[in-house]
Amino acid sequence: MIDGTDAPPDSSGPSSAPASGRPMPPRRRKALERIASIGASAQAAIPGLYAWAITVAPAAWSRGAPLFAKVAAIVGVLALVTAPAVEGADPAESPDANGSGRQPIEVANERRPRLLERARAWTGPTWARAWSVWGFVLSSAIVWALVPSALSAARLDGVRGALGMVGWALFAFASAGPALRSDPSLAGRIVASTSLKPRSELPRGDGLYVAVGVALALAMQAVGWGVAAPERAVLVRLVTVVCGVAVLGGTTSIALARHTERVPASRRIRLRRALPWLVMLALVTVSGVVVGMAR
């Protein structure tokens, strides 16, 4: 099984440090190593979850679907999500699920007819693949068998069905193929050099501005979900998205203006520059209040 785990990190080589030459913190390095060791089942889980969300979940949670169908659908998701953990549970015995890197003792075990012996010879990736593929496929089949009307042409949208087929094909492809791993020759291309120095140090507090902008933009998205007319609902969504982007741009502009190295404008110039907009704001606000009171 090619899962990236057979490439041990070389602390003395160039891959142990970033291009800047600075040693990578141990915690960060460990996290990157764990990400790099993700196997085929984790890569297959992404299209699998997509296919589940399009073809299985709508059937399991459709009107009139039994409770067992929902349970089976949840089991399918659990099979996809927990398969990477199963795969990583036994990394020392996972040379290759396709058989190319198996030890002679494992080959000898295969010749034995006993099922238990063969099951014992299975490595973590083999168990993960069996759990991911069969757990997901069987649970999905159970859901479809329990709710056959969910797949009828009258209830299944054509585009959604085609997208579901693509998702299932990607899941099958990712499950059957070996895990993608990084090119080992890339490590040789890294040239160790002196530390890269940033042009300027960013002061603290910028994240707070961006967080406030994101919170405001997200709060706007909560408006207008109960509109009945489709055209107006789309218009409301469009307006809220544009307004959210504008507010996010405004907050980031304020954050960036705090620590600019350019010549700071004096208070008088800033006020003069914003005065037309402030006057316009006052005019619009007052005119709206006057019109509202006159009604």
Partner 1 sequence: MQLLDVLAAVLVLGAAAAFTFGAMSLARASDVEAIYFLVIGVVALRAGVQLVRPGAGA
- Please give the residue ranges that form the binding site for partner 1 (CB under 8 A): 216, 219-220, 223-224, 226-227, 232, 235-236, 239-240, 243-244, 246-247, 250-251, 253-254, 257-258, 260, 262-267, 269-274, 277-278, 280-281, 284-285, 288
Residue 238: CB minimum distance to partner 1, A: 10
Question: 294 vs 218, 283, 290, CA distance in Å?
Answer: 35, 16, 6
Task: Rank residues 34 and 273 by Cβ distance to partner 1 and give the closer one.
Answer: 273
Residue 246: CB minimum distance to partner 1, A: 6
Distance from C-alpha of 5 to C-alpha of 254, rounded to nearest angstrom: 46
Closest CA to 140 of 129, 151, 125: 151
Residue 250: CB minimum distance to partner 1, A: 5
Task: Rank residues 82 and 240 by Cβ distance to partner 1 and give the closer one.
Answer: 240
Task: Rank residues 190 and 246 by Cβ distance to partner 1 and give the closer one.
Answer: 246
Task: Rank residues 162 and 278 by Cβ distance to partner 1 and give the closer one.
Answer: 278
Residue 100: CB minimum distance to partner 1, A: 59
Which tokens in the block code for residue 126? 């083999």
Residue 235: CB minimum distance to partner 1, A: 7
Task: Rank residues 152 and 260 by Cβ distance to partner 1 and give the closer one.
Answer: 260
* AA letter at 214: V
* Runs of H (alpha helix) within the chain: 26-36, 40-51, 57-60, 67-88, 104-111, 115-121, 124-146, 158-176, 186-189, 206-220, 230-258, 267-294
Closest CA to 253 of 286, 189, 210: 210
